[in-house]
Amino acid sequence: MISRRDLYRYLTMGLGGAIGFVLGAPGIAYLLDPILRRVSGGGGFVPLARLGELEVGVPRSFPVIRARRDAWVKYPPEPIGSVWLVRQPGEGAKTPVVAFTSECPHLGCAINLEADGKAFLCPCHTSKFALDGKPMNPVPPRGMDSLEVKLSSDSDPKISVRFERFRTMSREKTPLV
């Protein structure tokens, strides 16, 4: 037999829990929305340039132009990032072009080319990369992130790249979905 006092105590705790749940559960679900409802960020191929525009061993940066959804807004196609293209030596090589996203694997700044064009340099915390994307100092956790490249079969092939973003500050190259 429970006392009146205990009855009140249990009822109070039960009721408090119920109120907390009714308000808290939707509140938490709402706050977790960006995780619960991942919006896929496209990830299709974007045309960037023609092979003929590139010189062997001279990196060039091209904007990625794509329509974009930002929460409730739909933006028309506009630059949403940029990609470094490096043409590889040798006619008819298996990979005539290598593409790197300009997003730094360290903490996401935009990687630039050094003034002499011999290496990539990130202006934020001096991550340095060779033209093949390998890290040249211990600042970045990994090399520059290469992107999948597709060439059309024209006589002057069109270069398209699958534009993706990757997790920063990790040894592995993990795409963000």
Partner 1 sequence: MFKHLNDWLDDRTGYRSIVRDTLDEPIPGGARWRYATGAAITSAFFMQLFTGLLLMFTYSPSTTTAWGSVFYVNDVMTAGWIVRGIHHFGSMTTIIMLVLHLVQVVFAAGYRAPREVNWWVGVALLVVTLGLGLTGYHLPWDQKGYWSTKVVTNIVSCTPFIGPYLQTLLVGGDEYGSQTLSRFFVIHAALLPGMLIVLLVVHLAFVRKLGPSSPGKANDTKFWPEKAFKNLVAAAIVVAIPVALTLWNRGAPLDAPADPSARDYPARPEWYFLSLYQMLKYFPGEREVVGTIFIPSGLLAVLILMPFFDRIFPRKLAHFVACSFVFGVTGGVGYLTYQAASADARDASFQNARRRANVEAKRSRELALAGIPPEGAGYLLSRDPLVHGRDVLERKCLGCHYYDGKGVISKDEHGKEVMSKQDAADLKGFGSRAWVRGLLEKPNSSTYFGNVPQCGGMERWKKSSKLTSAELDRVADFVALFAEVDPETSAVEWANDPKIAKHPGLEAFQKECGQCHVVGESGLISEGGVEDAPNLFGWGSNRWIARMIKKPGAPDMYGFLDPKEQMPSFAGQLTDDDVLTVVRYLRDDYPGAPRAERKEKAAEPAEPRK
Query: What are the residues binding ligand FES (CB under 6 A)?
Result: 104, 106-109, 122, 124-125, 127, 139
Distance between CA atoms of residues 111 and 81, nearest Å: 11
Q: Is 13 exposed, middle or buried (0-12, 13-18, 19+ CB in 10 A)?
A: exposed
Parallel, antiparallel or unpaired: strands 128-129 and 120-121? antiparallel
For residue 65, the minimal CB distance to partner 1 (Å) is 15
Residue with Cβ nearer partner 1 (33 or 132): 33
From the list ligand FES, partner 1, none, partner contacted by residue 36 (C-beta under 5 to 8 A by kind): partner 1
For residue 88, the minimal CB distance to ligand FES (Å) is 25
From the list partner 1, ligand FES, none, partner contacted by residue 32 (C-beta under 5 to 8 A by kind): partner 1
Site for partner 1 contains 171 (CB under 8 A): no
Distance between CA atoms of residues 46 and 68, nearest Å: 13
The sign of the dihedral angle between the CA atoms of 63, 67, 68, 73 is: positive
Give the x/- contact pattern for partner 1 in 12-51, rule: CB under 8 A.
x--xx-xx--xx-xxx-xxxxx--xx-x------------
For residue 110, the minimal CB distance to ligand FES (Å) is 8
Q: Are 96 and 51 in contact (CB under 8 A)?
A: yes
A 10 A CB-CB count for 20 gives 11
